[in-house]
Structure 1
Amino acid sequence: MNIKFIPHSIALFLIFILAFSIPAQSAQAASPATLKVGSSGADVPDLQYRLKTLGYFNKDVTAYFGTTTLESLKRFQKDYGIASDGVAGKQTWETLKKVSVNQTELTLLARIIYAEARGESYKGQVAVGAVVMNRLASSSFPNSIRGVIEQPRAFTAVDDGQYKLTPDKTAYQAAQDAVKGYDPTGDALYYFNPQTATSDWIWSRKQTVKIGRHIFAV
C-alpha cells in the first residue's frame, strides 16, 4: 500500500460524508416544528392559516400558539382521526399538508382555477380546485400543491402560460371552498373539455359529472 495516499483518501471520505449530510440536515431544518401551547415562531402562523382555510380557526393569524389555536387544532385532530392532544407533531403536519394550504399555496390554487376555468360558473371553478385537492390527497400524485399543479403536462394553462395571470376574487373564493371540502366533482382526479380532448386515455376514464364545458373523471 502506498502510505502517501492515505491522508488524501481520508480527506475525500470526509468530503463525501459532508456532502451528503448537509442536505439531510437542511431538509430536517425545513420540517415544521412540533408546536404546542406557548409555542411561537414562523410555523405557528402557518399552522393557524391552514386551520383557518379548513374552517377550524376563526381569529386573526398570529405567531403565538394560544388556547384558541389549541382548541382549533384538537377539533381538527379529532375529525381527521389523529390523537386529539393539541400538539402539532409529525402526523398532524403530514395530514394538514394533505388537506389544507398555506397562504402561498392558496394563491397557486387560485391561479390555476382562474387560468383553467375563469369562463366557467362558480361551481365549475370550485370543481377545478377540488381536482387539485383530490390529487394532493392521492398517493398517485405529488405531495404538494405546487407539485400537483406544476407537474409536467398536468394542466394546459401551465403549459401555455395562462397560469401566470393574476386571479380575481372569485378564483380565491373558489380556492377557499375547494380547500374546505366543497367537491362537486364526485372525487374526480381528472377533467377535460370534450370539444377539444383528443386523448383516447382520458376518454377511457370513468366519468363522474359534467359541469359547464368540463367532464370530470376518476
Structure 2
Amino acid sequence: MAIGLLLPAGQAEAAPVLRWGSESGDVWDLQFRLNLLGFYQGKLDGKFGSQTAAAVRWFQSHYGLSVDGIVGPRTWRMLKKVSVNQYELDLLARVVYGEARGEPYVGQVAVAAVVMNRVQSPLFPNTVAGVVFQPRAFTAVDDGQFWLTPNRTAYRAAIEAVRGWDPTGGALYYFNPQTATSDWIWTRKQTMKVGKHVFAV
C-alpha cells in the first residue's frame, strides 16, 4: 500500500462511464475503491475485465443499484459516498497517526470513523479533504503532526473505518478531557471513552 500523499487528481470532476473493456486511471480508482470495500480482490491494473465487472455487479446489488456491471453516474455517486480513493485514504491515515498514535487500536479506528461520520453529516463538508482541512477541526493539522508519515496501523484503522466499523456509535467529535479548552465540547452527548479521547455526538 502506498504511504506517500498523492495529489487529488480530478477527484471533484465527474468520472466517465466505465464498462467492460475500459482502460484508464479511472478504472484503477474504481478497482482501488472496490478493493478497499472488499468487493474486488484482483490486481489493480486499470483494465475493466471480468473480475472488475463481477465486483461492480456485487457492489451494485449490495447497495440497491441497477445491477448492470456498468459504472455510470449513480454507481459512481454511491461508490464515492461509501469509499475513498488513494489520496483520501492517505489523508485519513495521516489524521489517525497525527491525532491518535499511541492510543489503543479501537481508538485509532474511532478517530477515522469520526472523519467518515462527518463526511456523511450535513453539518460538515462532504469530502474527506473538506473535513480534514476545515479550519481548527483537527489539532494535528494545526500543529503540523498531520504531515508525519503514517504507519501501517494507521492505514489499517483508516481502512476499517471506511469499511464501516464505527466503535463510536456515530460520533462527530472527540476530545481529550485533560487538554480540552472549549466549554462547548462538554455540552455534547458523550458516546464512549477510549484511551485519552472522549467521543461525542
Indicate the structure whose relative CO is greater, using CA pairs within 8 Å and at least 6 residues apart.
2
| Cα distance between partner residues in 2 of 1:77 and 1:132 | 25
- Counterpart of 2:171 in structure 1: which amino acid? A
> Which of the two has higher C-alpha Rg?
1
Picking from 139, 144, 168, the partner of 1:185 is 168
Structure 1 segments unaligned to the other structure (5+ residues):
1-26
Which portions of structure 1, spanning 4 or more consecutive aligned residues, are displaced by more than 2 angstroms?
Answer: none
In the alignment, structure 1 residue 214 sits paired with structure 2 residue 194: no
Q: Hey, what does 1:148 align to over in structure 2?
A: 131
Q: Hey, what does 1:20 align to over in structure 2?
A: none
Give the total of aligned pairs.
191
| Cα distance between partner residues in 2 of 1:137 and 1:48 | 22
Picking from 86, 96, 105, the partner of 1:122 is 105
| Cα distance between partner residues in 1 of 2:119 and 2:134 | 12
Contact 1:99–1:136 (8 Å) recurs in 2: no
Give the TM-score normalised by the residue count of structure 1. 0.83
- Counterpart of 2:64 in structure 1: which amino acid? G
What is the 5 A alignment of 1:58-69?
A: 58-69=41-52
| Cα distance between partner residues in 2 of 1:152 and 1:84 | 40
Structure 2 segments unaligned to the other structure (5+ residues):
1-9
Q: Hey, what does 2:116 align to over in structure 1?
A: 133
Q: Hey, what does 2:40 align to over in structure 1?
A: 57
Q: CA RMSD in A?
A: 1.5
Contact 1:127–1:183 (8 Å) recurs in 2: yes
SS in 1 for 2:92: helix
Give the TM-score normalised by the residue count of structure 2. 0.90
| Cα distance between partner residues in 1 of 2:75 and 2:113 | 22
Q: Hey, what does 1:201 align to over in structure 2?
A: 184
Q: Hey, what does 1:9 align to over in structure 2?
A: none
What is the 5 A alignment of 1:1-218?
A: 30-218=13-201
| Cα distance between partner residues in 2 of 1:200 and 1:60 | 50
SS in 2 for 1:31: coil
Give the deviation of 1:198 after TM superposition.
2.4
The one-character-per-residue Cα deviations of 1:80-105 (angstroms, maximum 9, x if unpaired) are: 22222221111211221121111121
- Counterpart of 1:44 in structure 2: which amino acid? V
Quick check: which one's helix share is greater? 1
Give the deviation of 1:164 after TM superposition.
0.7
